[in-house]
Amino acid sequence: MFKKILIANRGEIACRVMATAKKMGIATVAVYSEADKEARHVRLADEAVLLGPAPSRESYLVADKIIAAAKQTGAEAIHPGYGFLSENEDFAKRCEDEGLVFIGPKAHSIAAMGDKIASKKLANEAGVNTIPGYNDPIPSAEKAVEIAKGIGYPVMIKASAGGGGKGLRVAYNDKEALEGFTACQNEARNSFGDDRIFIEKFVEQPRHIEIQILGDSHGNVIYLNERECSIQRRHQKVIEEAPSPFITEATRKAMGEQAVALAKAVQYQSAGTVEFVVGKNQDFYFLEMNTRLQVEHPVTECITGLDLVELMIRVAAGEKLPLTQADVKRDGWAIECRINAEDPFRNFLPSTGRLVRFTPPRETMWQADTGHKYGVRVDTGVFEGGEIPMYYDSMIAKLIVHGKDRNDAIAKMREALNGFVIRGISSNIPFQAALLAHPDFVSGNFNTGFIAQHYAGGFRAEDVPHEDPDFLVALAAFVRRKSRERATGLSGQLPGYGVKVGSDFTVISLSPDGQHRYTPVHVDEFTGETGYAAVVVNGKRYKITSSSRLNDIVITGECNGQPFTAQMERGSAKNPLALVVQHNGTKLETMVVSPRMAELHKLMPFKAPPDMSQYVLSPMPGLLVEVAVQPGQKVQAGERVAVIEAMKMENILFAAADGVVAKVLANKGDSLVVDQPIVEFEK
């Protein structure tokens, strides 16, 4: 067994590999860029080596520097994690040539499966179901349109070296095929240095289901059941679960056996994933093989009780797989939510900056520890006070739960999301909460078009209907009553002017457009010592018990005998007197006041926000890579104005209306903040 390994990655996956290495008694070496010098993976490692500047192409993608770091520190093996160089055959071969063990498949397996065109031909030969399509590189956009017509729309245009949603478009007509081909080619060239494109039939109402496989150097290959990954946004997975609520036992077995046949055809050694697209009638077709550990591997670890990273390391060290196909278990149900640094209410644009608060829910399951079941696990590479840089992926944590069945897992996940505190940047937690509550998700009736279908116009606060809005009002009143009780005990109050606590309050639900809602509430049976009160809202009685302190953001307790987890904060950006309640994805900004104060509040004039329609504002923090207009230029609605880059994605800003440019307020190369003006139009 290795004594020391280098992890050629960053973030949560680097921390994940270190957890298993520590369990196995293996020393670890981290590598980092200048942007990551204070990162969690650097702190957790036994040693750390600086690679270079922040951009990946100057640090995490430079094979020479990584191999030099391994030799310099005496590491015998390199674990690539996922992304970066994990599926780079040249890097895997370089490691072997330099006498280092690559903890992953052999270079020839990566080469065979990494090329989507070659892998499809190989899959055909191995007897694996494949989708109809054109499997040779396409020379031009015009030829792409001709081929697409021949296959029949809709078609999927894919970069041969693509991944992570890049270099992939669905086209429903000639125009989309023409534009999609060019866009895919540009993205693939910039992201992967390979602009070969192919086209295949797009399966309608498709599910994305993948089979986890494991192979060793002794010819043994097994499959570890499936993962359901159909909840996707722009081809990026959002929620994954194991097993799938859709496929039958017969389909599971057939898919698993085909995945094993494909792995054996390329002498696959290590953990890998064979991805299938599954039609509504359980017809399934090979999509691609990921020759690495997947982001969503924890859900498989939960239901099988296996540590996939440990098995990867043991296989790389030449050991045989310690189990056969008959030994593979399927216990309970696991769900993973990807917690991303993005603002769901601003069309999921990246959100970078400092994590002012980062408090995940309490963990009862841990990485590299498969002995604990039916709980909550958090895989992350960040910490409170740390920075989310603009140069890398937007994922800041993975929240994993394991339940006895699917409904139990969904309930556990909703509670865990309620207790996940992230401040300083925006996160997609409200969106995750909405997805988990959606009737079609709960029933298992969904496909890869689920998000596009239900949130076609983007995601808005009203897309998260709370099952009991009066509970949020009651909770705000409960906390306010508790704080008033504490205020009565403060010493030094003037006689006759001390704080008095009443039983009647009005909860003002604040609205940005000034259409506030005023709800009378009555609080009785209050007992400060036990943290109990009964709150009457609209004729409904809420008996709330909570021992949480007033300065706790996360409040736990029981309401009418049912446990709850919610978040409560004093003050908001606009109102220091507000009490902000968050529960099940819904956020309510309130003021809890006396009935008389509520009457006076109704008389307050509403101050409308300033009109910013003549400006193009930066919708996110990022780097301004292009300003496409200049002062005096006439611009039409829909015309390109600027391009901002953040978290490996380019975002194009378009003019909302016709106009003439008055001023350009930011320059190429500037680092922008949210809502920073870039261009001003004449009024």
Point out the residues that are catalytic: 288
Using alpha carbons, list the distances in angstroms from residue 174 to 133, 138, 156, 650: 16, 15, 12, 25
Q: What are phi and psi of 412, to 5 degrees?
A: -65, -40
Distance CA 536, CA 525 (A): 11
Structure token digits, residue 315: 């296989």
Which amino acid does the sequence have at 661? V
Cα–Cα–Cα angle for 464, 469, 475, nearest 5°?
A: 120
CB-based contacts of 493, cutoff 8 Å, min separation 6 = 499
Query: Nearest to residue 370, comparing CAs of 338, 422, 322, 411?
Result: 322
- Rounded to an integer, what distance in angstroms lies between the CA atom of residue 378 and that of residue 530? 32
Q: Is the dihedral of CA 222, 230, 582, 522 positive or negative?
A: negative
Compute CA distances 111 → 93, 213, 289, 294, 348, whole Å.
10, 18, 11, 18, 34
Tell me, letter by letter, the H, E, C secondary structure of 61-116: CCHHHHHHHHHHHCCCEEECCCCCCCCCHHHHHHHHHCCCEECCCCHHHHHHHHCH
Residue 655: CB atoms within 10 Å: 20
Rounded-to-integer distance, Cα 378 and Cα 400, Å: 6
**What is the distance, to the nearest Å, from the Cα of residue 612 to the centroid of all Cα atoms in its chain?**
31
Candidates 330, 243, 271, 331; CA nearest to 16 is 271
Q: Looking at the DSSP assignment, which residues form a beta bridge with residue 50? A: 32
Helices in 224-296 by DSSP H: which ranges? 249-265
- Please give the Cα distance from 363 to 379 (Å, whole number): 10
Cβ–Cβ under 8 Å, residues 395 and 11: yes
Write out the two tokens for 274. 């064979």
559-567: Cβ within 8 A, 24+ apart: 559/471, 559/474, 559/475, 563/415, 564/418, 564/471, 565/361, 565/415, 565/418, 565/419, 566/418, 566/472, 566/475, 567/418, 567/419, 567/421
> First CA to last CA across the chain, in angstroms?
71
Find the farthest-apart pair of alpha carbons in the chain and give their distance in angstroms, rounded: 91
Pairing state between β 4-7 and 27-33: parallel
Instruction: Classify the C-alpha dihedral 334-340-343-348 as positive or negative.
Output: negative
Q: Which residue shows structure tokens 């280092």?
A: 100
Contact between 5 and 373 under an 8 Å Cβ cutoff? The reply is: no
Q: Encoding tokens for residue 299? A: 């859900």
